[in-house]
A and B are shown apart, each in its own frame.
Chain A
Amino acid sequence: MFQNRAEAFALVLPAAVFAGVTFLVPVVVLLSEGFRGADGWTIQAYIDFFSHPLNRTVFVRTLKLAAMVTAVAAVIGYAAAFAIVNLPPKGKGRMIGLVVLPLMISPVARTYAWIVILGRTGIVNQALTSIGLSDEPIRFLFTETAVFIGLLQLFLPLMIISLVSALENMPRDAVPAARVLGANWFQVFWKVILPLTREGLVIGGTLVFTGSMTAYITPAILGGSKVLMLETLLYQRVTVANDFVAASVIALILIVMAFAANLLLKRLATARNKR
């Protein structure tokens, strides 16, 4: 398309300069902060971080919640996506519209809506006490469960959309062909649908996992300081303690985990497929 590489380079240059100045440089500066010691480079900050029990708890909790949200989103997502792609075209469009709708509402508003539902005087507690299932309000807010529900609701649409497009790209008759060849629905899923939609699952899974791990608003509002996650811990380290070294450590951990999750999901998805 281009006469020489210089032309292509010239076109990319403005974007590259902007991204470099505003993104790459600050990230490198911030991350190098975590490796700087009194006498040269060191990983002491990382050793310090993980030797602190609270930090370990937060690290494990973040991984656990992100993994659980991803797993549950995958299960619910496959069921919903399978139903959606089998709808007639008009209904399909409407359902996808409904799935995408929450993405158009600010996550702050969506998360505060959970307080209306799960709070001490919220809808769930009023229902439970009025029918006598519970004598006093149950505490839902500031628990891991609340954060889990909030994150699931926040990221489920991304999983559904990824799986819908993956299912739609599957050869049209692959499922009926497997049925006629003797596969029950469980076998149809494991031997045909899963291997043929694995790219959608990897994309959806990566989006949900990294999204859950790096979400700030939802754990801040629904978990508060009782259920700290890496992201809320990072914010706390900076604003409360002015501790940029710890912030740098947490930031790198989050980046590494995101890449690791993507690689792991790819592995899992392809391993199924080898024979």
Chain B
Amino acid sequence: MSDSRYLSLEKLTLSYGNTIAVGDMNLDIGKGELVALLGPSGCGKTTTMRAIAGLLQPTSGTIRLDGVDVTRVSANKRAVGLVFQSYALFPHLNVFENVAFGLRLKGIRGRDLENRVEGGLKTVGLSDFASRKPAELSGGQQQRVSLARSMVMEPKVLLLDEPLSNLDARLRLEMRAELQRVQKQSGITMIFVTHDQVEALALADRIIVMLNGAIEQIGTPEEIYNHPVSPFVADFVGFENVFALENGKMKTTAGMADLSSDAPGGAVGLAWRPSMVALGSGPYQGTVRGSSFAGGTREYLLDTPLGPIKAETDASLAAHEFGAVLNFDLPVAKAAQLSRLG
């Protein structure tokens, strides 16, 4: 058993009635990795996570953990931790008893129990809150109790469902750092589910982008951010101007259009971020249909023969008027080269 296949999903399929939520999914996750499952709601990421935890029975396929087939092992015997989006703390128990819940079930008692619970609370900085009830804690504190409750069980894999989505912007940054620190300190294998690419890029060692119950792309944050392989991933990470290529030309709503330079070999599509669109000169023309000030930058929506184009310039430059006709270029050298269109 190699460490790079600590957790593997083999041809995993999950369905609700006739609806297939996840189809034929293959995935290997290494020991100690921090992985993000990224995708829009309904893409099957939460379903995948619940299957790994044993809360959903797969229709077919195998889940292997640490060399053992756990597909038929029930949730309470899997040694997988799960931090719920809703935190799912037990409202009738105080913080200490919430963290102790799983340990007590394991038969741990007395001094040993106290040490481990206190250790868990210390890791998340909540030592002084042991006797509080969950209702007396803020969202961020509840989140950390939930994290501690899973961590003290020393699970083989820790799953986190949208760990930062219920927190306000400031707490989110704090918790992000906290998660990274805890993960590095413990070396635990972590998989978190998110619909927020910023969160995935900032936290993960590796990102798995999912769409419609299948994996769309796997890569490091740099790979996903700079080299998306499909129109969906491109759009998701901010390449908002996406075109299919055919015989070296761009396919647009109004027919085929020439590129400003030769098409790269192998690519079936090209995509540009708004900031990559060069406004002012170039072979194309467009009319300004909308503009908005976004602090450091100004965003434009152009009506062009290629279809709508989103562009972005430095906000210190003079603003273009509504209805102004502008020349622009889509520099081929800067574009992300898509290897598939489906």
A residues engaging B (CB < 8 A)?
A: 171-174, 176-184, 187, 191-192, 195-196, 273, 275
Using a CB–CB distance below 8 Å, which chain B residues touch chain A?
Answer: 50, 53-55, 74-78, 80-82, 84, 86, 88-93, 97, 101-102, 105-106, 149-150, 153
User: When the two chains form the complex, which single residue of A179, A192, A195 contacts B76, counting CB atoms closer than 8 Å?
Assistant: A179
A-B contact pairs, 5 of them (CB 8 A): A174-B90, A178-B101, A180-B54, A181-B149, A181-B150
Q: Which 9 A-B pairs rank lowest in CB-CB distance, beginning with the nearest?
A: A173-B88, A181-B102, A177-B88, A179-B75, A173-B84, A182-B105, A180-B82, A195-B92, A182-B76
Extra contacts, 11 of them, besides A182-B76, A182-B106, A196-B91 (Cβ < 8 A), are A173-B84, A174-B88, A174-B91, A176-B82, A177-B82, A179-B55, A181-B101, A184-B76, A192-B90, A195-B92, A275-B93
Residue ID in chain B nearest A179 by CB atoms: B75
Q: Are A176 and B88 in contact (CB under 8 A)?
A: yes
Q: Which residues of B contact A196 (CB under 8 A)?
A: 90-92
User: Which chain A residue shows the least CB distance to B80?
Assistant: A180
Say yes or no: A182 contacts B97, CB within 8 Å: no
Q: Give chain A nearest CB distance to B241 CB in angstroms.
A: 40
Establish whether residues B86 and A176, one from each chain, have CB atoms under 8 Å apart when the complex forms.
no
When distances are taken between beta carbons in the complex, the residues of chain B under 8 Å from A174 are 88, 90-91
Choose from A172, A180, A191 the contact partner of B53 (Cβ within 8 Å).
Answer: A180
Let me know if B92 and A182 touch, CB within 8 A: no
A183-B105 contact in complex given A176-B55, A177-B82, A275-B97, C-beta closer than 8 Å: yes
Contacts of B80 in A (CB 8 A): 180
- Residue among B97, B101, B153 having the largest count of chain A Cβ atoms under 10 Å: B101
- Bound complex: CA A196 to CA B89 (Å): 12
Distance in angstroms between the alpha carbons of A187 and B106 in the assembled complex? 12
| Chain B residues, CB < 8 A from A187 | 105
Interface-central residue, A172, A180, A192, A275, by most chain B CB under 10 Å: A180
Q: Given A182-B77, A196-B91, is A177 in contact with B84 using a C-beta cutoff of 8 Å?
A: yes
- Whether A182 contacts B102 by the Cβ 8 Å rule is yes
Interface pair B91/A171, CB less than 8 Å apart: yes
- A181-B102, A182-B153 known; A171 vs B88 contact (CB < 8 Å): yes
Known A173-B84, A187-B105, A275-B97: A180·B90 in contact at CB below 8 Å: no
Chain A contacts for B53, CB-based, 8 A: 176, 180
* Complex-state Cα separation, A183 to B102, whole angstroms: 7
Q: When the two chains form their complex, are residues A172 and B105 in contact, meaning their CB atoms are under 8 A apart?
A: no
A178 to B76, CA, bound (A): 8
What is the distance, in angstroms, from B267's C-beta to the closest C-beta of chain A? 44
Residues of A near B76 (CB, < 8 A) are: 179-184
Report yes or no: B84 in contact with A176, Cβ–Cβ below 8 A: yes
Distance in angstroms from B16 CB to nearest chain A CB is 10
Given contacts A173-B86, A173-B88, A174-B90, contact A181 B55 (CB under 8 A): no
Bound together, the chains give a CA A179 to CA B78 distance in angstroms of 10
Which residues of A sit under 8 angstroms from B153, Cβ to Cβ? 181-182
CA distance A196 to B112 in the complex (A): 28
Contacts of B89 in A (CB 8 A): 171, 177
Contacts of B75 in A (CB 8 A): 176, 179-180
How far is A275 from B149 in the complex, measured between Cα atoms in Å? 18
A66–chain B nearest beta-carbon distance, Å = 28
Residues in A with CB closer than 8 Å to B92 are: 195-196, 273
With CB as the reference atom, state the residue of chain B lying closest to A175: B88
User: A173: shortest Cβ distance to chain B, in Å?
Assistant: 4
Complex formed: what's the CA distance from A181 to B120 in Å? Answer: 15
* Contacting residue for A181 out of B50, B86, B105, CB 8 A: B105
Give every chain A residue within 8 A of B105 (Cβ-Cβ): 181-183, 187
Residues of A within 8 A of B74 (CB): 179
B81 vs chain A, min Cβ distance (A): 7
Q: How far is the CA of A198 from the CA of B53 in the complex (A)?
A: 29
Complex CA gap A176/B86 in Å reads 12
Question: What residues on B are CB-neighbors of A191 within 8 Å?
Answer: 101
A181, A191, A196 pick with most chain B CB within 10 angstroms: A181
Complex Cα–Cα for A174 and B54 (A) = 15
How far apart are the CA atoms of A176 and B53 in the complex, in Å?
10
Q: Is the CB of B55 within 8 A of A180?
A: yes
Instruction: Return the chain A residue nearest B87 by Cβ.
Output: A173
With most chain B CB atoms within 10 A of its CB, the pick from A173, A177, A182 is A177
C-alpha spacing A136/B188, complex, angstroms: 72
Among A171, A174, A182, A196, chain B packs the most CB atoms within 10 A around the CB of: A182
Residue of B with least CB distance to A272: B92
- Considering the complex, give the chain A residue whose CB is closest to the CB of B56: A176
User: Could you tell me the distance between the alpha carbons of A261 and B91 in the complex, rounded to whole angstroms?
Assistant: 27
The residue in chain A whose Cβ has the minimal distance to the Cβ of B134 is A171
With both chains docked as a complex, state the minimum distance between the C-beta of B74 and any C-beta of chain A, in angstroms. Answer: 8
CB distance from A175 to the nearest CB of B (A): 9
Give, as a whole number of angstroms, the nearest-CB distance from B166 to chain A.
13
* In the complex, chain A residues whose CB is within 8 Å of the CB of B102: 181-183
B227 to chain A, nearest CB (A): 36
In the bound complex, CA of A275 to CA of B109 (Å): 14
Check A172 against B86 for contact (C-beta < 8 Å): yes
